[in-house]
């Protein structure tokens, strides 16, 4: 039952890219798209796209391509974004504020439901349409709300401690903006968004 454990992560990691491109294609009015057209838009080979998608079912029609609406629907289901996930934000500096106000989450399956900071000067202030709460209340509040996703926007020095707290509170997926590798239990996922890493990946070639 669980989660088709046979799908390689490298394939899973491409699905959100496909989904995003399909949503753009739909906005343009496309109702059907071939693996070749999709591949050209994403700089991915059409064979790869067909192989990836075929792992989840037979969504395509020979001679026509993939029905955009149905494929969007299916990918959302497989990715579990056919619902809205509540997210807890920790760290409400400049970046935390920007995240709290970012409109792009809601339309794509995520809602920042709570924001915490440890700085007394920030607690009680507003971030987006949230009130910043005391981090000492995090565990109880997150547990009670059953929140499974956390975003860390603190300085690096605080990030591991925050991660431990989130895991203790029941969070199972962490988006980490702090520039540090996190150590978490095996059943917890972490994704990293330190902007300097991709910059340094590119300067190698400059």
Interface residues with DNA (CB under 7 A) are 8-11, 34-36, 44-48, 50-51, 53-54, 58-66
Which one among 6, 120, 129, 206 touches a second copy, defined by CB under 8 A? 206
Cα 4 from chain centroid?
20
Residue 19 sits in the site that holds a second copy (CB under 8 A): yes
The residue among 32 and 193 lying less far from a second copy, judged by its C-beta, is 193
Closest separation between CB of residue 74 and DNA, Å? 11
The full 3-state SS of the chain, as one line of letters, equals: CCCCCCCCHHHHCCHHHHHHHHHHHHHCCCCEECHHHHHHHHCCCHHHHHHHHHCCCCCCECCCEEEHHHHHHHHHHHHCCCCCEEEEEECCCHHHHHHHHCCCCHHHCEEEEEEEECCCCCCCCEECCEEEEEHHHHHHHHHHHCCCEEEECCCHHHHHHHHHHHHHCCCCEEEECCCCCCCCCCCCEEEECCCHHHHHHHHCCC
Which one among 36, 85, 118, 139 touches a second copy, defined by CB under 8 A? 85
Closest separation between CB of residue 204 and a second copy, Å? 5
Q: Residue 43: which of DNA, a second copy, none does it interact with, CB under 5 to 8 A by kind?
A: a second copy
Closest separation between CB of residue 19 and DNA, Å? 16
Q: Residue 61: which of a second copy, DNA, none does it interact with, CB under 5 to 8 A by kind?
A: DNA
The residue among 53 and 72 lying less far from DNA, judged by its C-beta, is 53
- Which among 90, 206, 174 is positioned nearest to 138, based on CA atoms? 90
Binders of a second copy in range 158-187 (CB under 8 A):
172-173, 175, 179-181, 183
Q: Residue 15: which of DNA, a second copy, none does it interact with, CB under 5 to 8 A by kind?
A: a second copy
Which one among 110, 123, 132, 152 touches a second copy, defined by CB under 8 A? 110
């Amino acid at each position: 039952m669980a989660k088709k454990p046979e799908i390689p992560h490298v394939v899973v990691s491409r699905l959100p890219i496909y989904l995003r491109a399909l949503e753009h294609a739909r906005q343009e009015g496309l109702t059907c798209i071939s693996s070749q057209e999709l591949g050209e838009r994403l700089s991915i080979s059409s064979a790869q796209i067909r192989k990836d998608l075929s792992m989840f079912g037979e969504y395509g029609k020979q001679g026509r391509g993939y029905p955009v609406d149905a494929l969007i629907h299916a990918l959302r289901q497989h990715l579990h974004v056919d619902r809205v996930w509540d997210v807890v934000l920790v760290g409400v500096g400049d970046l935390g504020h920007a995240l709290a106000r970012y409109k792009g989450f809601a339309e794509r399956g995520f809602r920042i439901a709570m924001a915490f900071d440890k700085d007394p000067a920030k607690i009680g202030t507003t971030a987006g349409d949230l009130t910043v709460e005391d981090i000492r209340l995090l565990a109880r509040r997150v547990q009670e709300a059953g929140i499974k996703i956390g975003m860390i926007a603190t300085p690096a020095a605080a990030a591991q401690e925050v991660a431990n707290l989130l895991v203790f509170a029941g969070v199972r997926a962490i988006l980490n903006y702090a520039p540090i590798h996190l150590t978490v239990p095996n059943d917890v996922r972490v994704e990293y968004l330190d902007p300097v890493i991709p910059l340094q990946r590119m300067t190698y070639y400059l």
